[in-house]
Amino acid sequence: MSIITIVGAGMMGTAIGYPAAGNGHEIRLVGTPLDDAIIDHAIATHTHLTMKRPIPEGFKFYHFSELEKAMDGAELIVSGVSSFGVEWFSETMLPLIPEDMPILGVTKGMVNLPDGSLISYPEYYRTKHPGRRMRLCAVGGPCTSYELADHDPTEVCFCGDEPALLRWIKSLFECDYYHISLSTDVRGVECAVAMKNAYALGVTLAVGLAEKRDGKIGSLHYNSQAALFGQSAREMKRLLSYMGAREDSLMLGIGDLYVTVYGGRTRKIGTLLGRGFTFDEAMEELKGVTLESIVIATRSARAVKRKIALGELRAEDFPLLMHIYEIIVEKKPVHVPWAQFETESIG
């Protein structure tokens, strides 16, 4: 039995503890300073305030003020913060974690550098703490927290630099409903499963366009969704190939694109935009909903635009991402460039 300390008591931070708790490990769930209500609720009811599920045996709950106690004897720290907690985790938490302690991050996202490069959060943390040893691993792949908590069959990938460490962490979490691939392609895995947020927004434009056409909310058409899904796969492949990502990472991103088109908040904004809402109107409509997808879409598009300006990528290879940029940054109306998706594979 191992002790796993999860910092960040949001839905995904909590849900990843379920398979490990089921394997008999002790899960110490520590709220960030923003999670006090979640921790109070968990202590009082042994259920999760926002995920609205019972929390399994094997979990113990800690306020952030009890961090030291929660980390005492831990063999693995899980970063359960959302992408909006990355700076906090970097500045406040990382210096508190011993250099030889393995860290597994569930935070999905990536960062664009001024030269147009896209890097993963583990890489980003290293830029913030040069010289510090950090045994950073991360989770990627199609996984919604509430389905994981419900023991639905789920396939993810743990990535990191140390194969033996990855295999050990896998042994803590692997169970009959949570299946874990391993990869040392950290940038490829993390950027693939981040950039799908941009493209899920792209695919779901077709949901709103169909509703607008039919004048009927809930009307579903699939040729147009499939065209956008296929184009998303093409553009993700082009960008990931350019970045040197492995093919396995692309496939993970394609599975993750699928779940994001169906399972999440990104679909809501894509649908509203497709219906004809301006970006600002759509954001107003969804007030209060955190839209990491917008952050990621903007970063992806800015990175690719920079690489295009540098002559390293071609705009005609990314017509969908360029249109997403027009919509969310330049506030232009939706006008999907269908004809630009055509390819010629001759010879």
- How is residue 1 written in tokens? 């039995």
The residue within the footprint of its own copies, chosen from 32, 82, 154, 204 (CB under 8 A), is 154
Instruction: For residue 341, state whether it binds its own copies (rule: CB under 8 A).
Output: yes
* Segment contacting its own copies by CB under 8 A, of 18-26, 75-83, 149-157, 272-280: 149-157
Does the footprint of its own copies cover residue 221 (CB under 8 A)?
A: yes
Q: CB of 211: closest distance to its own copies in angstroms?
A: 12
- Rule CB under 8 A: say whether 219 interacts with its own copies: no
To its own copies, the closest distance from the beta carbon of 202 in angstroms equals 13
Q: How many CB atoms lie within 10 A of CB 236?
A: 27
* Residue 265 within binding range of its own copies, rule CB under 8 A: no
Q: Judged by CB under 8 A, does residue 216 bind its own copies?
A: no
Query: Any contact of residue 1 with its own copies (CB under 8 A)?
Result: no
Cβ–Cβ under 8 Å, residues 309 and 325:
no
By CB under 8 A, tell whether 56 contacts its own copies. Answer: no
Residue closer to its own copies (CB basis): 99 or 343: 343
* Residue type, position 277, single letter: F
Q: What is the C-alpha separation between 278 and 285, in angstroms, rounded?
A: 10
| Token pair recorded at residue 236 | 């993700």
CB-based contact 68:41 (threshold 8 Å): no
Q: How far apart are CA 288 and CA 185, in angstroms?
A: 35
Q: Is 333 in the site for its own copies (CB under 8 A)?
A: no
**Contacts of its own copies in 176-205 (CB under 8 A):** 176-177, 179-185
- Residue 239: how many CA atoms within 13 Å on its side-chain side? 38
| Euclidean distance between CA atoms 102 and 332, whole angstroms | 45
> Please, what is the end-to-end C-alpha distance for the chain in angstroms?
59
Distance CA 336, CA 228 (A): 9
Amino acid (1-letter code) at residue 71: M
Stretch in the footprint of its own copies (CB under 8 A) among 64-72, 99-107, 256-264, 285-293 = 256-264
Smallest separation, CB 221 to its own copies (Å): 5
3-state DSSP assignment of residue 95? helix
Contacts for 63 with CB less than 8 Å, ≥ 6 apart: 30, 31, 36, 39
Phi-psi sector, 58: left (phi>0), alpha (psi -120 to 50), beta: left
Q: 30's torsion region: left (phi>0), alpha (psi -120 to 50) or beta?
A: beta
> In the set 79, 204, 225, 293, which binds its own copies (CB under 8 A)?
225
Out of 102, 208, 255, 274, name the contact with its own copies by CB under 8 A.
Answer: 255
Q: Name the residue nearer to its own copies (CB basis): 147 or 326.
A: 147
Question: Stretches 30-38, 129-137, 209-217, 311-319: which one binds its own copies (CB under 8 A)?
Answer: 209-217
Q: Which is nearer to its own copies, 109 or 274 (CB)?
A: 274
234 lines the binding site for its own copies (CB under 8 A): yes
Residue 200: which residues within 8 A CB-CB, separation 6 or more?
232, 257, 260, 261, 264, 266, 267, 270, 293
Q: Which is nearer to its own copies, 168 or 177 (CB)?
A: 177
- Applying CB under 8 A, among 131, 223, 311, 330 the residue interacting with its own copies is 223
What residue ranges bind its own copies (CB under 8 A)?
141-144, 147-148, 150, 152-155, 157, 163, 166, 176-177, 179-185, 206, 209-210, 213, 220-227, 229-231, 233-234, 237, 246-249, 251-252, 254-256, 258-259, 262-263, 336, 338-339, 341-347
